[in-house]
Homo-oligomer: A and B are copies of this chain.
Amino acid sequence: MNHHLIESTISSEFVYQGDFLHVKHDKVRLPNGQTSTREHIIHPGAVVIIPLLENGEILLERQYRYPLGQVFIEFPAGKLDPGETVLACGKRELLEETGYTAQEWAYAGKMHLAIAYTNEVIHIYFAKGLTAGERKLDHEEFLDVFSAEPSQILAWSKDGSITDAKTLTCALWLQNYLSGSWPLDWVTNS
């Protein structure tokens, strides 16, 4: 039923292979039979974590994002390592960036970040039963960890204090999980 929408690959080549960004330039056949080009980024995928503290607050980060030249309020997140499972990535990133470990995890869903030009997917996990510890930041990573009430996170989402799309998507999950509309299946660490 989607034949009138689908584009097919004629040829594909890497035009830039950087330390982080891997850019492809493809020749494609459009649904009407004509040809065009598509430029897109190959990304390993990532995980974002919504950490629920015992006191009802949510763990967040403040991090400088160079492409925009400003500090953003974000949920903890990071890229998948080669061969790493999504849950293992979530546990590793939460520990590295915040120092916290979690007793229970629940998979919420996934989002695609910039569907016009990257294949990046971000898997969304909730974490609870949190215990604080030492964080292990990458030597090139600088970020603050703090916590806030869910109502504060929603107020910040409305007033423009939070504009990161992955964090706003997590705010949608947080609001509907806490209201009881979107229940989760929790799994306890073995």
Residues of A with Cβ closer than 8 Å to B? 2, 4-7, 15-16, 18-21, 23, 25-26, 28, 30-32, 34, 36-41, 62-68, 71-72, 74, 109-122, 140, 142-144, 154, 157-158, 160, 163-166, 168-169, 171-172, 175-176, 181-182
Contacts and interface: CB of A to CB of B under 8 A. Distances in A.
Given A64-B2, A67-B117, A25 B18 contact: yes
A115 B65 contact: yes
A166 B175 CA distance: 17
Contacts of A30: 140, 142
Given A21-B23, A40-B67, A64-B7, A169 B158 contact: no
A67 B16 CA distance: 16
A5 B74 CA distance: 14
Contact of A169 (B19, B65, B168): B168
Nearest to A16: B16
What are the 6 A-B residue pairs with the smallest beta carbon separation, nearest first?
A40-B67, A16-B16, A172-B172, A65-B115, A5-B64, A168-B169
Contacts of A182: 158
Given A68-B112, A117-B20, A165-B111, A172 B157 contact: yes
A67 B115 contact: yes
Given A19-B37, A117-B20, A66 B7 contact: yes
Contact of A164 (B111, B143, B176): B111
Contact of A114 (B28, B71, B113): B113
